[in-house]
Amino acid sequence: MSAVPGVEPPQSHPPKKAESPRRFSLRTRVMLLAASCVGGAVALVSLVAYLTVRGNLYQQFDDSLIERANAAVTSVPVQAQFREVPAALLVSSDIDIGLLQAGAGLTWPERGEPPPVGDAERAVAVGTAESSLRTDTATDMRVVALPSGPGQALVLAQSLAPTKRTLAELSLVLFLFGGAGIVVAAAAGTAVARAGLRPVERLTSATERVARTMDLRPIPVTGDDELSRLTHSFNTMLAAVADSQERQRQLVADAGHELRTPLTSLRTNLELLLATSREGARPLAERDRVEMEADIRGQLDELTQLIGDLVELARESEPRIENERVDLAEVVERALDRARRRAGETEFDVMLEPWVLAGDPAVLERAVLNLLDNAVKFSPEGSTVQVRLRALGDGTAVIEVSDAGPGIADEDLPKVFERFYRSSEARTLPGSGLGLAIVKQATERHGGAVYAGRSEAGGALMTIRLPGVPG
């Protein structure tokens, strides 16, 4: 479609998103719920009370009217001169009374008012009905008729206005007290919601504070109810997050410190090689070049091992896959096969008992291999590393790896499983200082523990203790 000159085409605007309805706060909902429950209960109780009182009042009204009619029929002789009898002598003045005769109509006292008469009262007068009791809607009166002799009936009528006025006053009182109860319930619900939701507000403020500032301080806890338990759980989560954060910070700091030395040495060697390869530069002796290249390869190997160990340690917070049945003896055998290929002249004396547990075989194999490599590294050439897998009889088994090396100093025993810790004897040997930390992490992940001590030959004795059952 072509555009009309001078007229801008109408611009299409994206449709506005419909605003989501505003929801009430939890405090408002608690208040409304309390007011609604109390209002419903008050309304139900008021309705039942009103209907009960109404029924009783009308029943008492009818019983009193019938009793008066019976008294009038049995105690006052009804005769032709009925109009001349004072009404006060028959019944009280709040009742209209009359004598209905089948052929002569209704007669009533001169000082009184005629009661309403209808078909029901005539039926009593002619004898087709024993009695009648009805409400005359035109005059709002309750009318009773009883036979008083052949062909006549005594008719009494009493106004319902006082009874209805009493019921109206009762309904007003119930309404006012019910409304007051609802207001009090709303106020009480607000107070309860404010007091009950205060720990939730603290939790909300704490989560917002954590998200905004990463401040992981615990929340003060008061009481011992469900909300206090929720606060305790949240504090436990904060402590776990803080611990994980601290471990990550320490890992990054230690990794940066450990990486600095090989990277600096590697950079120095590469810069020297590049400088000697430039045109006009003094050439490097072949022997020095070979040593420098070997040094660079060693540094690259050290960096590769360090990065691999760091990646393994960083997996500590990852969700674990479902454990599988692990034959620990097979795990040790596989680790031994890998260790023998790089053990040189070091021999292994192995005694394994069958043992089964649930876990990750790759993680356990890495832990055992680290112990074997550590034993080989500190063992003299031609010595023997002893490997034992035996049950302790208490639902656990131990893997013991002992060597004939210099052993571990007493002051180093509590620290050998810490990250990047290296004793004075080990600082001149290759390694990242993370191998035993990986052993500890893998063992604790499987519900076990690790220990360091001295072997009978004076070397190091490393022990992994794991739960399980004999295979």
User: Where residue 15 falls among pLDDT bands split at 50, 70, 90?
Assistant: low
The mean pLDDT value for 118-142 works out to: 91
Residue 2: per-residue pLDDT = 45
Determine the pLDDT at residue 90. Answer: 46
Q: What is the per-residue pLDDT for 279?
A: 76
Name the least confident of 38-47, 51-60, 111-120, 317-326: 317-326
The single residue listed with the structure tokens 């260790």 is: 339
Which one is predicted more confidently, 157 or 87? 157
In the predicted model, what is the mean pLDDT of residues 38-55? Answer: 89
- Model pLDDT for residues 237-295, shown as the tens digit of each residue: 888 888 777 777 766 766 665 566 667 777 887 888 788 777 777 777 778 778 778 77
Q: How confident is the model at residue 13 (pLDDT cuts 50, 70, 90)?
A: low
Residues 75-100: tens digit of each pLDDT: 655 544 455 444 444 444 678 888 89
How many C-alpha atoms does 421 have within 13 Å on its Cβ side? Answer: 13
pLDDT score, position 220: 74
Instruction: In whole angstroms, give the CA distance from residue 93 to residue 95.
Output: 5
Task: Give dist(CA 332, CA 326) in Å, integer.
Answer: 11
Report which residue type is found at 124.
V
Residue 7 has pLDDT above 50, yes or no: no
With b meaning 16 or more CB within 10 Å and e meaning fewer, what string describes 35-72? beebbeebeeebeeebeeebeebbeeeeeebbebbeeb
- Distance from C-alpha of 127 to C-alpha of 186, rounded to nearest angstrom: 62
**Taking 50 as the threshold, does the pLDDT of residue 340 lie above it?**
yes
More confident residue, 373 or 309: 373
Q: Are 85 and 199 in contact (CB under 8 A)?
A: no
Q: Does the pLDDT at position 156 exceed 50?
A: yes
pLDDT digits (tens, 9 = 90+) for 177-188: 888 888 888 888
3-state secondary structure of 281: coil
More confident residue, 3 or 395: 395
> Which of 83-92, 351-360, 363-372, 382-391 is least confident?
83-92
Q: What is the CA radius of gyration of the chain?
A: 51
pLDDT of 316 reads: 56
In sign, the C-alpha dihedral spanning 429, 337, 469, 401 is negative
Distance CA(422)–CA(424), nearest Å, equals 7
Q: What is the pLDDT of residue 257?
A: 58
* Residue 14 banded pLDDT, cuts 50, 70, 90: low
Q: Is 19 exposed, middle or buried (0-12, 13-18, 19+ CB in 10 A)?
A: exposed
Highest mean pLDDT among 7-21, 228-242, 254-268: 228-242
Q: How does the average pLDDT of the chain come out, rounded?
A: 79
**Residue 280: CA count within 13 A, CB half-sphere:** 0
pLDDT at res. 261? 61
Q: What is the mean pLDDT of residues 451-456?
A: 86
How many CA atoms does the CB half-sphere of 238 hold within 13 Å?
20
Which pLDDT band, with edges at 50, 70 and 90, does 305 fall under? low
**Range picked from 68-82, 105-119, 158-172, 329-343 for highest mean pLDDT:** 158-172
Average pLDDT over residues 95-107: 86
pLDDT at 294: 79
Give the whole-number percent of the chain exceeding pLDDT 90. Answer: 21
For 76, which DSSP code?
A: S
Overall average pLDDT of the 204-233 stretch: 77
Q: What pTM, to 2 d.p., does this model score?
A: 0.46
Higher-confidence residue of 149 and 248: namely 149
Report the distance separating Cα 360 and Cα 296, nearest Å: 35
Joined tokens for residue 176: 């006012």
Q: What is the pLDDT, as a whole number, of residue 29?
A: 80
Q: Tens of pLDDT along 401-441?
A: 998 888 887 777 777 777 666 555 544 455 456 778 878 88
